[in-house]
């Protein structure tokens, strides 16, 4: 047996949804994670401080008795967002970031930004007060191939924005490419990137070879093997620029296994055993704490969690449920396709 101990981890990109789905999936994250950056793409989205306060209250009300979990709220950036409201949200301490969705880029993003020039007053205020911008880093131009949308976003949107507002603190969420890794690595102290569990495991062959696997389909979509290997190298490098954001995104099976299936992998249940497996394969278990527990709090200027997590490698593989039952229907838990021998024991 092999045992490792690390500060209780955080998830810096999480979808909890609302209502019955929230009540069903929240315990899966709260079991292992102390805090999470909560995505605001509800219907309607979490646009204002008032919206964030209300959603925070619903999350806390849904938390099972005896579980400790701190939801860190975000605002959904629109072309009508008020800079003064964003400043009040930051001052409140409840809201830790603002989320940029290019309109049409992913689930519930139709109310996102079409013209970046229209949100510059908000971004200028955020740069002034130090509130991070979390980006879904893809362009939505139909002329751009889906596998190139991240690289094009960096070149045509993110790099020009950061040249214009060098003090803006930016998190490149769920990066999926060599280009994303390279840009984040050289971006300086005001730039960081999250990497998901599933993008460390999947390439596009896993989605398409032998038949379409809807539960491996996510956005940004998994790319070529060379990109997956670049992500693994970045995550296990020890660089403070990279940290965990699962992008765990629950959808009921009937909406995933559909003629136009929803994007998202639900990894909240088994992320930590999967990460230990990946870091073990990369001979980098000594760097797992940095990726999962230390680098995120450092960027968000928050304390490291005092509580500890212990993982143990055993001869018997982990087991977890195939599905999480919700009132709306079952949600399939991410299946990596191989046995995992790392167990969370406390």
* 190 neighbors 166 (Cβ within 8 angstroms): yes
* 277 neighbors 340 (Cβ within 8 angstroms): yes
Q: Is 145 a catalytic residue?
A: no
For 229, the token pair is 């290997």
Q: Which residues of 84-96 are buried (b: 16+ CB within 10 A; e: fewer)?
A: ebbbebbeeeebb
| Residue of 247, 280, 283, 322 marked active site | 247
Judge residue 315's burial from the number of C-beta atoms within 10 Å of its C-beta, 0-12 exposed, 13-18 middle, 19 or more buried.
Answer: exposed
Q: Per 3-state DSSP, what percentage of the chain is helix, strand, and coil (rounded to 5)?
A: 40, 20, 45
Work out the widest C-alpha separation in the chain, in whole angstroms.
56
Distance from C-alpha of 221 to C-alpha of 109, rounded to nearest angstrom: 16
Nearby residues of 302 by Cβ (< 8 Å), 6 or more positions away:
35
Prior bond of 91 cis (ω within 30°)? no
Distance from C-alpha of 192 to C-alpha of 240, rounded to nearest angstrom: 8
The four Cα atoms 9, 290, 135, 332 give a dihedral, to 10 degrees, of: -40
Q: Which of 338, 135, 332 is nearest to 248 (CA)?
A: 332
Strand partners, 70: 35
- Just list the catalytic residues: 247
């Amino acid at each position: 047996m092999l045992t490792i101990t690390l500060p209780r981890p955080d998830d810096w990109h999480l979808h909890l949804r609302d209502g019955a789905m929230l009540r069903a999936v929240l315990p899966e994250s709260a079991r292992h994670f102390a805090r999470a950056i909560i995505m605001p793409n509800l219907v309607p989205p979490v646009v204002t401080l008032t919206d964030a306060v209300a959603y925070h209250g619903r999350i806390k009300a849904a938390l099972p008795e005896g579980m400790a979990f701190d939801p860190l709220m975000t605002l959904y950036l629109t072309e009508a967002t008020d800079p003064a409201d964003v400043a009040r949200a930051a001052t409140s301490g409840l809201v830790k970031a603002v989320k940029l969705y290019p309109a049409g880029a992913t689930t519930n993003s139709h109310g996102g930004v079409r013209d970046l020039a229209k949100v510059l007053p908000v971004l200028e205020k955020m740069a002034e007060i130090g509130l991070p911008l979390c980006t879904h880093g893809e362009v939505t131009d139909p002329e751009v191939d889906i596998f190139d949308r991240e690289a094009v976003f960096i070149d045509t949107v993110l790099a020009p924005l950061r040249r214009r507002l060098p003090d803006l603190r930016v998190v490149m969420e769920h990066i999926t490419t060599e280009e994303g890794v390279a840009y984040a690595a050289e971006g300086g102290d005001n730039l960081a990137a999250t990497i998901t569990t599933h993008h460390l495991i999947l390439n596009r062959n896993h989605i398409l070879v032998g038949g379409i696997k809807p539960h491996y389909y996510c956005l940004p979509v998994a790319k070529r093997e060379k990109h997956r290997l670049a992500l693994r190298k970045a995550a296990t490098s020890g660089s403070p620029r990279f940290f965990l954001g699962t992008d765990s995104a629950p959808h009921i099976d009937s909406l995933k296994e559909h003629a136009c299936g929803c994007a998202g992998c639900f990894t909240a249940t088994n992320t930590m055993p999967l990460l230990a497996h990946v870091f073990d394969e990369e001979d980098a278990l000594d760097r797992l704490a940095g990726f999962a527990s230390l680098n995120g709090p450092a960027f968000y200027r928050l304390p490291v969690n005092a509580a500890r997590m212990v993982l143990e490698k055993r001869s018997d593989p982990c087991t977890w449920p195939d599905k999480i039952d919700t009132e709306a229907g079952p949600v399939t838990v991410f299946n990596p396709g191989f046995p995992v021998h790392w167990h969370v024991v406390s």
